[in-house]
Every structure is written in structure tokens, then in C-alpha cells.
Amino acid sequence: MNRFTSILAASAVSLVALPAVAQTEITWWDFLGGGDGVRMRAMIDQFNAEHPDINITPTTSEWGVPFYTRVRTSAAVGQGPDIMTYHLSRLPLALQEGVLTEITDADLEAAGLEIGDFFEAAVDAASDADGALYAVPFDIHSIVLYYNKSYLEGSEFLDDDGILVGIDSLEDFERAVAHTVEQGSRAPISYQTGGPGGIWRVFYTLFGQQGGEFIVDGEVLPGDNAGKAQRAIEIMASWGEQGWQPEQAEYPASVALFTSGQSAFHLNGVWEVPTLNDLANDGSLGFEWGAVQVPQMMDELATWADSHAFAIPIQGNQDMDPERREAVMTVIGWMQRNAIAWADAGHIPAYRPVAESDEYQAMEPNATYASLADTAFFDPRSEIAGVASPVYDAAVNVIGPAMHGFLSPEEAVAQMQMELQGLIR
């Protein structure tokens, strides 16, 4: 065997002997469907491609109660995921159930993150009463006011750049609505009037703009908060009495009223931005549209908001292996730094370096309504509040009938107080 052949043989033996890159398998659970799910899968694929030492295996479960029930039961026996998406509005219940582990300063350091990197409102919603962090905010998603520019052209409510202007009070908004009716809008204010999400988000925005607090020290609508809740319901009922909003519109129908050109305004989440962009891009929308932060109609700016966040569940009675936890935090840090891809779904990144980047500021209409991150009004910090909660049930079962004239606003508030107060431990 000559020297060259010997080197080749030795190299071959060496290559065979080289161990494969050790890979940490990360189990991921989320509730993300539709466009959100598509975008998240693309981000996971990109992460896996860039990290040969870490592999994320994702599973998507049904949004709402099914997802959170599965988390609770699996975490208790140590069969849950390593990382999961979580609504911050559900955090108070998670803390009561004890299903989440604290995100420490050392965890954040492993992710290359700092607490000051995030919007304060989202951090508050992700923390317990003592300020300990139990989830890492990923976005702020809120309702916004979508508008059909064709109904507003030439009016005081549309500037030269096509941006909605001149609405600084409830009276201004209702004048704008009345103007669009004169211009032919058949259902000028569309939102989900037949389901819990749409009703609650509009109610809670109007309530928050009066400085309301829904639950204080375990009491539902104490003091003058009851009057503020009543006023919010009165406004929604009056829109119905004037024929401005649809009756019992389920979510898809409320969106269709706007996309078909029948509604001048649409109150819905930022997550519908991709829908409208897609329709506009393929030429099937038929009108120019915009979206802005819900204007100040009452005493102050406030808009219902929630956040998707990343959380690490308990592992039964076991602690997560430190190397695995570091890998999980690597995933979370990467997701934050690459959140511009998530912003494409309409969401406002909770991570300030992305939200304040030139790339995000160039996204429209996202950049136009991004200011709502500073006035985001999160759901009450209570185990009975948040998505798919008793508070949402009260929205459709109590506020809904009041909107349609089957209860007075005063009766609706009294019924909410009675039903919800009995659920607080």
C-alpha cells in the first residue's frame, strides 16, 4: 500500500468514525390554523434548516378549550410538549393551575433576549402579580378599524394619502358612519355580532376607552365600572337600532359583508390583513381599503388586545433537562429575531427591535396601526377571563341579547355581575 492509498484509507476510517451531530428533539404544540399556521410552519422549517443540532417537531391542536384542556392534563403527568404557544389572556388561569414554569433571567440570556426588548403591556400580561415572567410574548394582536375608501372619498374623513382621519370622538365616528350610509353602505359597521369573540372585543374596547376595570380585587364591575359597561352596551345596541350593524352575524359573514363592499367599516382583528391583501392582489376585492387603530371614541385610547406567547409547561414532577431547556430558549430567541415573517400575518411583533425596524415600518397597513401596542387593553387578569372563557360566554349570552333588544343594558350588566361573580374563587 503506497503512502497516498494509506492516507485515503485512513481518511475513510476517520470519516466513518466521525459521530453524527447530536440533535436535540424539541416537541412543539400550537393552536395556529389558517394563514397563521402556514407562516409558523415555514418559520419552523427555516429554524430546523439553520440548526442541525436542534429539531422542532410540531403538532397543531384545535384552538380554544380543546388546546388548553390538553395542555393541563398532559402537563400534570409529564406528557406535555417542550414548548407551546399560549394566549397571554389565559395566563391567570395557567398560574392558578400551576401548569407553566417560570422564565428566568438565565433563560432569557440563553435566548439572547432582555426583558426591555418587549412592549411593557405584553410583559405585564406575561407576568404574575410579583413580576415573575411565565411566557415570552411573541406578538400583540388587537382589533383594528378596517375601512372601505370608496365610501369616504371627498369627505373630511379621508386625507390625501387615503388615511382615515377626523375621528376623535364617538360623535365623529357616528357622523362618518352616517356619511357612508348616504353613500350607499348597506351595513356600515360589520363585526361578529353573533359570536363571543367579536362581541367581547368591541364591548371591551368601548369599556376600556372609558377607563373601565372589569374585575377589581375579585369583584366584577365594582363601583362606576358597572355604568361604564352599561354605556358600552348602549352604544352597541344603538348601532343595531339604527340598522348600522348586522344582526347575529357569525364571523365569516361579518368578514364577507366587508369584503363584498357592503360595509364601510369593519371591526376585527389584525389577522384579517392577509385576507384583504390577498383579495386586493388577485383583483377580486373591488375597492381600496385601509386599517387604523380603533379611534378614540370615548375618554382615552384603548383597544382590546391579546398576545400569542411562548411558554414552557411543567413536566409532571420532573425538571426539564438543562440542555433541552437551553435548546428551547434558543428556539424562542430565534423566533423573536425573525418575527418579521410573523408580522406578515398582520400581527405587531412584541419584540421591539423587529417592531421598530425599517422593514416593519415599511409594512402597510401594519405600520399605520402599530401605535396600538402602547395602548393595548388586555383582558382582565382573572382565571375566568381570556379566550374561550366564561367572560367570552357572557359576551354572547348576555351582551348579545342586550344588543338585539332582548335585555336592557342595565339588566345585562346586572346579569353579568351575578353570573361571573359566582365563578371567581
Mean pLDDT in consecutive groups of 10 residues from the start of the chain, 425 residues: 39 46 90 92 97 97 91 90 97 94 97 96 95 97 97 96 96 98 97 96 98 97 98 98 96 97 97 94 95 97 97 92 96 98 95 97 94 93 93 95 95 97 90
The sign of the CA dihedral 349, 373, 397, 251 is negative
In whole angstroms, what separates CA 130 from the centre of its chain? 24
What CA–CA distance (Å, rounded) separates 30 from 97? 19
In this structure, are 417 and 289 located in the same domain? yes
Does 73 map to a domain? yes
Q: Answer yes or no: do 296 and 365 share one domain.
A: no
Q: Confirm if 309 and 137 have CB atoms less than 8 A apart.
A: yes
Residue at 214 is within a domain:
yes
Are 221 and 417 in contact by the 8 Å Cβ rule? The answer is yes
274 shares its domain with 301: yes
What Å distances lie between residue 141 and 90, 201, 423, CA to CA?
14, 12, 27
State which of 339, 357, 372 marks the end of a domain: 372
What are the angstrom distances between the C-alpha of 44 and each of 50, 53, 310, 355, 385?
A: 10, 14, 14, 20, 30
Instruction: Please tell me the predicted confidence (pLDDT) of residue 14.
Output: 43
Does 269 lie in the same domain as 313? no
- pLDDT on residue 4: 32
Apex CA 312: angle with CA 306 and CA 314, to 5°? 125
**What pLDDT, on the 0 to 100 scale, is given for residue 233?**
98
Q: Are residues 82 and 133 both part of a single domain? A: yes
Residue 194 domain-assigned (yes or no): yes
Q: Which of residues 356, 372, 388 is at a domain's end?
A: 372
Residue 322 sits in the same domain as residue 288: no
| In a shared domain, residues 269 and 189 | yes
Looking at this protein, which amino acid is placed at residue 238?
S
Q: Residue 8: inside a domain, yes or no?
A: no
Give which of 30, 344, 327, 288 is closest to 149, Cα–Cα. 288
Prediction pTM value: 0.91
**Which residues fall within 8 angstroms of residue 192, CB to CB, at 6 or more apart?**
198, 199, 249, 250, 251, 254, 268
Rounded CA gap, 286 and 196, in Å?
30
CB atoms inside a 10 Å sphere around CB 301: 17
Residue 264 lies in a domain: yes
Closest CA to 207 of 366, 395, 80, 49: 395
Task: Tell me how far apart the 2 most distant CA atoms of the chain are, in Å.
Answer: 99
In a domain, 10, yes or no: no
Helix (H, G, I), strand (E, B) or coil at 332: helix
- pLDDT on residue 46: 98
Is 334 a member of any domain?
Answer: yes
Q: Is 244 a member of any domain?
A: yes
Residues 337 and 300 in one domain: no
Q: Are residues 146 and 253 in the same domain?
A: yes
Which amino acid, 326? E
- Residue 113 contacts by C-beta under 8 Å, 6 or more apart in sequence? 136, 332, 333, 336, 351
Asked if 137 and 362 count as a contact pair (C-beta separation under 8 A), the reply is no
Looking at the fold, whether 40 and 83 belong to one and the same domain comes out as yes
User: How many domains are there within the chain?
Assistant: 2
pLDDT computed for residue 65 by the predictor: 87
Q: How far apart are CA 144 and CA 140, in angstroms?
A: 12
Q: Cβ of 278: how many Cβ atoms within 10 Å? A: 12
Are the C-beta atoms of 88 and 140 separated by less than 8 Å? no
Q: What's the rounded Cα separation, in Å, for the pair 206 and 219?
A: 20
Cell reading at 344? 406578515
Neighbours of 327 (CB within 10 A): 23
CATH of the domain at 227: 3.40.190.10
Same domain, 118 and 185: no
Specify the 3-state DSSP secondary structure of 278: helix
The parent domain of residue 230 ranges over 142-305+377-421
Q: Is 367 exposed, middle or buried (0-12, 13-18, 19+ CB in 10 A)?
A: middle
Residue among 267, 265, 276, 292 at smallest CA distance from 192: 267
61 near 275, Cβ under 8 Å? no
Q: What is the pLDDT of residue 20?
A: 59
Q: Are the beta carbons of 380 and 214 closer than 8 angstroms?
A: yes
Same domain flag for 109 and 39: yes
Contact 243, 185 (CB under 8 A): no
Q: Is the four-CA dihedral 172, 175, 181, 186 of positive or negative sign?
A: positive
Distance of CA 148 to the CA centre of its chain: 23
